[in-house]
Amino acid sequence: MSIEVQISHHFQGFDLDVAFQAPAGVTALFGPSGAGKTSIIQSVAGLLTPDDGQITMSGRKVLDRTAGINLAPQKRNVGYVFQEARLFPHLSVVRNLSYGPKARGQAVDHGYQEQIVTMLGLDHLLGRRPQALSGGEKQRVALARALLAKPEVLLLDEPLAALDAARKEEILPYLERLRDHAEVPILYVSHSVSEVARLANHVILLRDGKVAKAGPVEEVFSDTSSAAVLGLRESGAVLRARVTAHHEDGLTELSGAGTKLHLPRVMASVGDDVRLRIKASDVMLSLTRPDGISALNVMEARIEDILAGQGPGVLVRLACGDAHVLARVTQRSAKTMALAKGQMVFAIVKSVSVAQADVGT
């Protein structure tokens, strides 16, 4: 299953013109406020009719302005989860869940409902009403209700924005399960680089109503050109690694990026694959292999690209085996070290710089 979007629309003082394809899994729409994220998912949902273009879901056209096709929202088979859960306060959780299929004239698939309830950890909440739920629990119920309608596309419009840090950490593992097990395209709008790095399979970077960069999250985040949207402070790479050992001193050993990495204890079992986010500002460079330092993570790397901005910082893209890492250094350091494309260096990452919140499965 996939969704193809090619639309353009003129707003007062702003033009939206985008084209992209989103396969099954999570495709994040990321960009600053006013970049066009919400307008895109509203167009997919049928809540906004763009001036031109077409939208295709799994081969079925729901919008084609040239051909005069514009299906109503209720005929598009789209699931939509907002910042607020928008549950019916007078209904129990289980009755909220059954509302989606019934509203579409469908019989409740109890076997499928049981699967979704288990996946999102709702078994013990079914008899409660929304006012007895935490913010994270309400959002999990909203996700389940949307999934039980068996949508062709699931739209998540900043679903964690209204939650505090603790509630976000509570729901993120369930969103990871959703990403790994749902067989539908999920368009995920977020302002959080950390969220996108943890959850997304693919990323669409938006700037001024245009697609600035699109592709797998590892490729997009490790590209120096993405800094124009992500910002230098948030620039960093996403790596995939495998847990190889948990040590008695509280560190977890991982294999990835052509080397071994050591992090504070990761909540995953030996043999599990995890993804890591390493900020460019947490990576130092050395021309020789460092000796006698406290940092445990040292990777031999080749410089692939150097991006100098208007300020004092320089962004360096490094190839470490099959993976890529970004490093942020000052222009003075880059000049003193005579950094150049093709040069071999050593990238040094402190274990503490990879926060637990930036470790996802």
Q: Tokens in use for 117?
A: 């309830």
What pLDDT is recorded for position 182? 82
In degrees, to the nearest 5, what angle opens at C-alpha 194 toward C-alphas 192 and 200? 90
Q: pLDDT tens across 336-360, in order?
A: 999 999 999 999 998 655 656 666 6
Characterize the bridge pairing of strands 60-64 and 236-246: unpaired
Q: pLDDT tens across 188-245, in order?
A: 999 889 899 999 999 999 999 999 999 999 999 999 999 989 888 889 999 888 999 9
Residues of the chain above pLDDT 90, percent: 66
Say whether 21 sits in a helix, a strand or coil: strand
Whole-prediction pTM: 0.88
> Three-class SS string for 188-208?
EEECCHHHHHHHCCEEEEEEC
Mean of all residue pLDDT scores within the chain: 91
Residues of the chain above pLDDT 70, percent: 96
Lowest mean pLDDT among 98-107, 110-119, 152-161, 305-314: 98-107
What pLDDT is recorded for position 257? 67
Q: Stretch 34-38: mean pLDDT, rounded?
A: 93
Distance separating alpha carbons of residues 66 and 58, to the nearest angstrom: 20
Q: Stretch 257-265: mean pLDDT, rounded?
A: 83
